A = this chain, B = another copy of it.
Amino acid sequence: MDSQTPAYPVTYRNRLRRRHDRGHYDHATVHAILDAAMLCHVAYVIDGQPYCTPTGFWREGGTLLWHGSSASRMLRAQADGVPVCVTVTHMDAIVLARCGFNHSINYRSVMAYGRARLVTDPAAKLRAMDGFINRFFPGRSAVLRAPSAQEIKATSVVEMPIDQASAKIRDLPPHDDEDDYAVPAWTALIPLRTVVGEAEPDPRQHPDADRAAGGIAAYRAGRTTDEVFAETARLYEADPGDTEPGDTDRD
């Protein structure tokens, strides 16, 4: 990796000990894997017991954010700067081979390390709540009923500046030991993909509801979630859709 490429620092915690060829630490690779996802798994510890909780998340620069009920055990545990590990994984293919040992999975994953903390500043919290909507559905917050005081109170937002991260990628065809090509086991790569289905409109749709204003243009049936989430991340980065009092550029 070029020393000029922005990258996460590599230490004991995130350095790949095996399969160095599959490891990446540069921002571009790490962020692309994160941005192709809506779901992450967060590992954290309460009284020595590890927990692994799935949750929706998003990225703002070098910070990951997620949210949940203020009553949630996970968010209470993460309020005070505890170490967490956030992992995102995409399974791309099953790789069949001629011996068990060479069976594999093609995947892209990121493990990101840092300390989680509550977003307590009211303006920052409100911006984050809108951000979670707009990051996946560009501009959608503008057509929604604004969050109520009760909803804001009931929601906790957590942010984790990424201290370290590593990406691990396997993107290879089947490969066997040379001698094993004499074994007549049928081998192949079986691709997997997660796709968007046809949207099922709410039966109570408002007669004036405008699908085009809903921020969901990217969600065309048959597209992969990879493509959709990466596209909406780019749109959000270009225009976070923040509103300030008196902001006339909202739409």
Contacts and interface: CB of A to CB of B under 8 A. Distances in A.
Interface of A: 13, 17-18, 38-39, 41-45, 48-54, 56, 69, 71-73, 83-87, 89, 91, 94, 96-101, 103, 105, 107, 109, 111, 113, 129-130, 132-133, 136-137, 140-141, 143-148, 151, 154-155, 173-174, 180-211, 213-214, 216, 219, 225
Contacts of A13: 49
Given A185-B206, A187-B209, A206-B181, A129 B145 contact: no
Given A52-B42, A52-B43, A151-B99, A206 B182 contact: yes
B184 A103 contact: no
A130 to B, nearest CB: 7
Copies per complex of this chain = 2
Contacts of A85: 43, 49-52
The main secondary structure of chain A at its interface with chain B is mixed
A241 to B, nearest CB: 12
A97 B216 CA distance: 12
Contact of A189 (B97, B107, B194, B200): B200
